Amino acid sequence: MGMAEKLRIGMISSAHVHAHSYVVVLRDNPIFEFIGVWDDDVERGLEFSKNYGVRFFKDLNELLEEVEAVVIVSENVKHLEHVEMTAGKVKAILCEKPIAVNVETAEKMLKICAERKTKIGTAFPVRYSPVVQSMRQVLESGRIGNVLMIISTNRGKVPPGWFTDPELAGGGAMMDHIVHVVDLLRWIFKREFERVRAFVGDNINEELEVEDNAMLYLELGDIPVTLDCSWSKPKSYPYWGDVTFRFIGSEGVMEVDVFRQTMTRYDNMERKIEWLYYGSNIDEALLVDFAKRVLRDEELFITGEDGLEATRVVEKAYESARLGKVVNLR
């Protein structure tokens, strides 16, 4: 193979909802030797480790002595702290999105990793979706001509726990849902966002301390983009949410629903309807690609810089909402 058989890897925290899908991949995929989990919330970490049959470490340094890489899956505001604790002790870090709650913090994280010669990547698994790969191919082929406008959404239900705590999440729906779409469009069009205007509300779930709905107008070079990044799906909605695009081109229109590979299940016992996803496991694709690149000592596909640029859009969107006007990103 030209590389080591397995990547010795650990998980930092079990706070994020994505930890539940990540741990199954890390535990079961043969490219990994999953060493275990450390969590600053010992009770949470013990319960998580027990549920998935993996080892729990009360001492982070003991975990770091046994691993080559880590996945940071902690609350948004703790990412810097956990990078400081691990960089220089591992070869690579994969950090959950958003990489940080503001640009200054993201830059500190990247500087620490550069100084300590530790690679850092951002968890943007939607790049690995076969639907997105096909979407990119169509756009690059020119089949719909020059793209004149993009209408996009990343809507969902209100997430549980700390996601609605501004002290831990750093924000609400915008902090949670801007970054995926922004990363995809930066990657596909190979250009940066230049301006943003955010219209924000907190009127869907009035009990929240953070915004639950937002509509953004963005400029990706000379392409206008709209993004609905709201937590607008009700609890009764049959699926977690969506990522959709409508590309309006000079020669045609393309509509994309990234996660629509679902079957409808009618449950008479619980009197509910749900959509069961049967598409590709993009979390597994993300983690396996990360492992292969670390084992081969290659550049990561999705870098810390990608996370930084997505965070820049988030930060400026909040600034736009405060000022009530269009804001330049640079």
Q: Tens digit of pLDDT for each residue in 61-105?
A: 999 999 999 999 999 999 999 999 999 999 999 999 999 999 999
Print the domain residue range for 99: 7-124+282-303
Indicate whether 2 belongs to any domain: no
Provide the pLDDT for residue 322: 97
Q: Which H or E run contains 109? A: helix 103-115
- Whether residues 90 and 175 share a domain: the answer is no
In terms of domains, do 251 and 225 share one? Answer: yes
Residues 253 and 133 in one domain: yes
Exposure string over 229-248, b if 16+ CB within 10 A, otherwise e: bbbbbeeebebebbbbbebb
Indicate if 270 and 324 belong to the same structural domain.
Answer: yes
Residue 28 lies in a domain: yes
The pTM for the full model equals 0.96
Q: Does residue 218 sit within a domain?
A: yes
Dump pLDDT digits (tens) for 160-206. 999 999 999 999 999 999 999 999 999 999 999 999 999 999 889 88
- Please return the burial class of 258, using the count of CB atoms within 10 Å of its CB with bins 0-12, 13-18 and 19+: buried
Residue 114 confidence (pLDDT) above 90: yes
Examine the domain organization and report whether 160 and 103 are in the same domain: no
Angle at 24 between CA 23 and CA 27, to 5 degrees: 80
If one counts the domains in the chain, the total is 2
**Do 138 and 57 share a structural domain?**
no
Residue 1 located in a structural domain: no
Look up the CATH number of the domain holding residue 11.
Answer: 3.40.50.720
SS3 228: strand
pLDDT of residue 1: 43
